[in-house]
Structure 1
Amino acid sequence: MKLYKSLPLMFLGLILISGCVSNKKYTELQTTYAQLRERNQELSNKYQDSQRELSGVNSRVKSLEEQIASERSNVTALQDALNKCLKSSNQGNVNISKLVDEINSSNKYIKQLINAKNKSDSLNMVLTNNLTRSLSREELSDVDVQVLKGVVYISLSDNMLYKSGSYEISDKAGETLSKIAKIIKDYSGYDVLIEGNTDNVPIAQTNIRNNWDLSALRASSVVQALQTKYAVDPKRLTAGGRGEFNPIADNATAAGKSKNRRTQIIITPKLDQFMELIGKAPDQGTN
């Protein structure tokens, strides 16, 4: 990051060293300098986003590690109880057998947690890598891919995705959507939520009441395109609109408004997969 921060200063130094230049040349240099500053800011923002993503992933890993540690502690406690039972002549074989079953159940659950963590991390990494590799440099400027707490977020800019001031899909969005659809179909065990978001500027169209309507209509357009044009199973798709109430930047600036006008494709494991894992947790109660 230090290199990017120093580029505008180096550029300004070259201007000063070069001495007198024509007004046209000076204007061109000023424009280039402004572009470098803007690019530097973009890179700084991406670096900060990456740091936040890393923090989220570390938090999730820590949570799973705490669960694993807790289960191992339970195993130790059960083992101690079993040892006491073995030393006591008054304990019956039935109680000993029950403790052995509980120890085996806890060990099995620990393995399930570890496998679930490893599987989730691996699948999300492969999914993200496959998608980013398939996108061109131009597409990557309008598409942002992040993995937070085991969920993949694909954020698409409204300039690329929709016709101006509309919820209709633009022609240039077709190729990008086709690549995203392929990833979605490759990972059939995942549910997909399409979420529309807007800035805080009121919509001025007679057939759209407000930004709630606009965000929901845009999400619905993407869902229907994925279903009808790219054969994604509609049972896996959900369309939702959040209007202007889920901003990621300050609406006080044009750049902030541009970031807030986005559609997110959120890819996550199905809920029943999580519930199944929870249902397999061993019962630690004693009778």
Structure 2
Amino acid sequence: MKTKSYLFAAMASVLLFSCVSPKKLRQSEAKYAELSATYLDLQAKYRALQDELNKANNQNTDLTTRKAALENQISELNKQIEYLKANNNTVLNQLKDLSVVTGSQAESIKKSLENIGAKDLYIKDLQGSIARKDSLNMALVMNLKGAIGNLDDKDINIKVDKGVVYVDISDKLLFKSGSYDVTDRAKEVLGKVAKVLNAQPEIEFMVEGHTDSLPIRSAGIADNWDLSVKRATSVVRILQDTYGLDPKRMTAAGRSQYLPLADNTTAEGRSANRRTRIVILPQLDQFFKLLERK
């Protein structure tokens, strides 16, 4: 009985396969080839975006390290100044009795005073350069807030953290749920941001897409990595094509669900995590030019 059943199933499969026309088979093969090519193209773009993201992260780490080194240098110079002042006070006390001051001691006093003045001036230059950089960042933040106007802080947030300017825009302002099509209201907001960025042509920036941790269920979107990258590239295209920003200044990156602001186990937390972030990239060359004496 089982043998007859197997034979019947095999004959049915043969008859079914024979019903598929050669034309439909060729169409299916062509569609498969097209999908495979698209997949390979997306993989290549993804790898390129990851390289750009790693480069930007390395730049940010380098700036933080160099700033810490400068602050340590300032601290060491302050210690040297205190030491020189203490030694100088000892020598100056000897001046109460001019008979004990030799020519070499007098020369030493002179060099010590000159050394203190030079080190103090250098410290003031370093502190002034750091202050000017922070002032430039704060001016940029104020310009962005002034251009955008009185939007709800839940929809858009502009801040400075560790010397870097961040503009966070919620996904409900920019996109429809599960989509990477930019809304008309979002284009208006992006236009205001673009106006400020166009006025600062030396500034480079990165557009990051962020999602919550829930799996995506939309046609044409593979996963949260895919959605975050597509949202970032949608924003970059608007800034380039509609508002004329130089594409060489921009980087598009997807961070998926892996850099949350809040707990993904709550609806409120997931809403905060779904965002697009514009990161004003720190310019190391420009910062260290501030250290050059005019």
Task: Decide which moves more: 227-236 or 133-142.
Answer: 133-142
Equivalence for 1:48: none
8 A Cα contact 2:137 2:165, kept in partner: yes
| Larger Rg belongs to | 2
Match for residue 197 of structure 1 among 199, 207, 210? 210
Name the counterpart of 1:234: 247
Residue 275 of structure 1: how far off its partner (Å): 5.8
> Which residue of 70, 73, 79 maps to 1:73?
79
TM-score, normalised via structure 2 length: 0.60
TM-score between both structures, scaled by the size of structure 1 = 0.62
Q: CA separation of 1:255/1:107 partners in 2, compared to 1, >3 Å: closer, same or farther?
A: same
Question: 8 Å contact 2:155–2:170 — kept in the other structure?
Answer: yes
Q: Within 5 A, what are the aligned runs for 1:86-125?
A: 106=119, 109-125=122-138
* Alignment-mate amino acid for residue 269 of structure 2: G
Counterpart contact for 1:189–1:269, Cα < 8 Å: no
Give me the whole-angstrom Cα distance separating, in 1, the residues matched to 2:205 and 2:174: 18
Contact persistence 2:205–2:249 (CA under 8 A): yes
Q: CA shift at 1:271, angstroms? A: 2.8
Residue in structure 2 matched with residue 270 of structure 1 by the alignment = 283
TM-aligned CA deviation for residue 104 of structure 1:
7.9
| Per-residue CA distance 1:176-199 (angstroms, 9 max, x = gap) | 111111121223333211111100
Deviates more, 1:230-239 or 1:127-136: 127-136
Please state how far the C-alpha of 1:267 moved relative to its aligned partner. Answer: 1.3
Tell me the equivalent position of 1:168: 181
Written as runs of structure 1 = structure 2, the 5 A alignment for 1:216-227 is: 216-227=229-240
Q: Which runs of 5+ in 1 are unaligned?
A: 1-60, 90-95, 281-287
What is the deviation of 1:159? 0.8
Q: In 2, distance between residues paired with 1:117 and 1:133?
A: 24
Gaps of 5+ in 2: 1-66, 92-101, 105-109
- The aligned residue for residue 212 of structure 1 is 225
Alignment correspondent of 1:22? none
| Structure 2 CA distance for aligned equivalents of residues 106 and 187 of structure 1 | 34
Residues 1:135 and 2:148 aligned together? yes
Q: Is the 8 A contact 1:150 1:268 kept in 2?
A: no
Per-residue CA shift, 1:58-96, capped at 9, x if unaligned?
xxx9997654332233456689999x9xx796xxxxxx9
